[in-house]
A and B are shown apart, each in its own frame.
Chain A
């Protein structure tokens, strides 16, 4: 447990650093293979602990190396699994482990990594009163399996991930943009999409102004 004094309290430059160098720091959860947790540069803060439970042992026995990592960070459990088995893992979680409520589906973009995207499923179990996060790593252009057949709620959540990141979901009944207009170009939550960027052509045609800025 890190106490309150550990975060650096030094009144150093108040300017925020540009986001450019950010992706160089790979979060430990995203590290693909290393068996030992990579020591972060900063000694402050908790590190992910290995998560050992009967359920994890079951999954490791069933999917072998498909389950890349099972850890717990500040008391929150997550699993990193291969994209090839993620659908089966989610299905087993729902059917055998009572994770009956799909809280959220989202993604994180790491442009400097070979597998650029983390797709994250956050699940909750009413009988167990537990949460779990399942993560998988995807290359740009690869599609994740759609879980709309497991949880109806995934429909809009997957559409939003598609809209914001351009990640496809195989087997989704109606994969369209949801928040942005259908003809929009670009996926705003990708890191290369600047905060001021917009589809000027769309704005010109549909709103009749030069720029929305």
Chain B
């Protein structure tokens, strides 16, 4: 049989574009909202042709609590703990963004010591967030061991949080104008010990996965997203950087004295799940670098700026954003001069990043959907707010 006859055969019998060879019906499958790999209550409706994904639709909102509405009915200080409940695995970053936004509105700046404490805790939280991501993402793909490794090390970070402010997860670590708590005795020593302890552990994660053949086969070339697509879709954070766009708000528009620290922005080349894994691993190391510099040069001085007890920011609007572990986390606050925000909008990185799911999984296999949801690193508390 020659090639021409073969292709002729296929042309004759292949039905229309949306139908399969055997003219089977497409299958619509619900994944979630109670599916372990969706990391919460995300429902993805998949349109399948066999194992091939023809399209997806996300159904979200199961965790909608109306955070923005609550903000309009609370004073600025009262709303502060609520932001921890959005991205609850990176509560410190949420609080940092909120405090910076209100400080901008009040026209005050946190003193240097407070800024350093904020950087240390925010970077520790970035590590905790990435570690939790790595453990659960690997678990989704079938590697169970990394979960135990990462949770063992994340525990040390949570212990530092607990000693610092009494809470492990929803920390409410910062206040508008600085921090409420001075560092506890031996804080610097403990953070230094943590840096020493965890540096070889990151190599351990890499030993488990980076050259692991199953891991590489499951992640390389999966969920491709080009840099151009990322920008078009507004995707930020490690997902953007893995697609080769060297952009990090800590460098582009430094806040909270990040300009004082020497660190690099890791980037990937291919924009696939494997590169996103490498970028996040590299970010763990860069976070350690920042923590190491910050904790060893932490200045003395006050930890709270002069902020009025009753905060009435002048009339105006500001948008302030930070580089949260998941991407750009922004707060748009409108003040009418009263004690409560007139309008508070959160620009959640997870919500915007999740929108890229459809583009990333179209044409791939159903098992890759699990890998792609994992690699996007979404937290449904933040998607739904």
Given A29-B317, A46-B314, A120-B332: A4 and B309 interface contact (C-beta under 8 Å): no
Given A152-B232, A153-B352, A179-B64: A195 and B70 interface contact (C-beta under 8 Å): yes
Give residues in A with beta carbon < 8 Å to B.
Answer: 1-2, 4-5, 7-9, 11-12, 14, 16-17, 19, 22-23, 25, 27-29, 40-42, 44-46, 48, 73-74, 76, 78, 100-104, 106, 108-109, 120, 122, 126, 129, 131, 133, 151-153, 155-157, 160, 164, 178-181, 188-189, 193, 195
Question: Please, how many angstroms separate the alpha-carbon atoms of A86 and B1 in the complex?
Answer: 62
Nearest-Cβ distance from residue B366 to partner chain A, whole angstroms: 23
Tally A-B pairs: CB < 8 A. Answer: 153
Q: Return chain A residues, CB-CB under 8 Å to B340.
A: 16, 19
Q: Does B338 contact A (CB under 8 A)?
A: yes
Partner of B232, one of A16, A73, A151, A195: A151
We find that the number of chain B residues with CB closer than 8 angstroms to chain A is: 58
A5 & B319 in contact (Cβ 8 Å cutoff): no
CB neighbors of A among B330-353 (8 A)? 330, 332, 334, 336-340, 342-343, 345, 347, 351-352
B73 & A104 in contact (Cβ 8 Å cutoff): no
B232 & A14 in contact (Cβ 8 Å cutoff): no
Q: Return chain B residues, CB-CB under 8 Å to A19.
A: 72-73, 338, 340
CB neighbors of A among B305-337 (8 A)? 305-319, 321, 328, 330, 332, 334, 336-337
Stretch of B10-18, B103-111, B257-265, B367-375 on the interface side:
B103-111
Give residues in B with beta carbon < 8 Å to A.
Answer: 60-61, 64, 66, 68-70, 72-73, 75, 104-108, 231-235, 245, 247, 252-253, 305-319, 321, 328, 330, 332, 334, 336-340, 342-343, 345, 347, 351-352, 355, 384-385
Question: Please, how many angstroms separate the alpha-carbon atoms of A129 and B384 in the complex?
Answer: 29
Q: Return chain A residues, CB-CB under 8 Å to B352.
A: 153, 156-157
Nearest-Cβ distance from residue A178 to partner chain B, whole angstroms: 7
Task: Give chain A's interface secondary structure class.
Answer: loop
Given A45-B314, A152-B232: A179 and B332 interface contact (C-beta under 8 Å): no
Q: Return chain B residues, CB-CB under 8 Å to A131.
A: 319
A25 & B337 in contact (Cβ 8 Å cutoff): yes
A106-B345, A153-B355 given; 17 more Cβ-contact pairs under 8 Å: A5-B306, A7-B311, A7-B312, A8-B310, A8-B312, A14-B310, A42-B314, A42-B337, A108-B342, A108-B343, A122-B330, A152-B234, A153-B235, A156-B352, A156-B355, A180-B64, A195-B66
Q: Return chain B residues, CB-CB under 8 Å to A180.
A: 61, 64
Q: Return chain B residues, CB-CB under 8 Å to A28.
A: 315-316
Question: Please, how many angstroms separate the alpha-carbon atoms of A106 and B75 in the complex?
Answer: 21
A17 & B339 in contact (Cβ 8 Å cutoff): yes
20 A–B contacts, CB within 8 A, in A order: A4-B306, A5-B306, A8-B310, A11-B309, A12-B310, A27-B317, A42-B337, A74-B104, A74-B107, A76-B318, A78-B317, A103-B330, A104-B345, A122-B330, A151-B234, A152-B233, A153-B235, A179-B61, A179-B64, A193-B69
Q: Return chain A residues, CB-CB under 8 Å to B231.
A: 100-101, 126
Question: Please, how many angstroms separate the alpha-carbon atoms of A160 and B348 in the complex?
Answer: 12
Question: Please, how many angstroms separate the alpha-carbon atoms of A14 and B312 in the complex?
Answer: 12
Question: Please, how many angstroms separate the alpha-carbon atoms of A122 and B317 in the complex?
Answer: 12
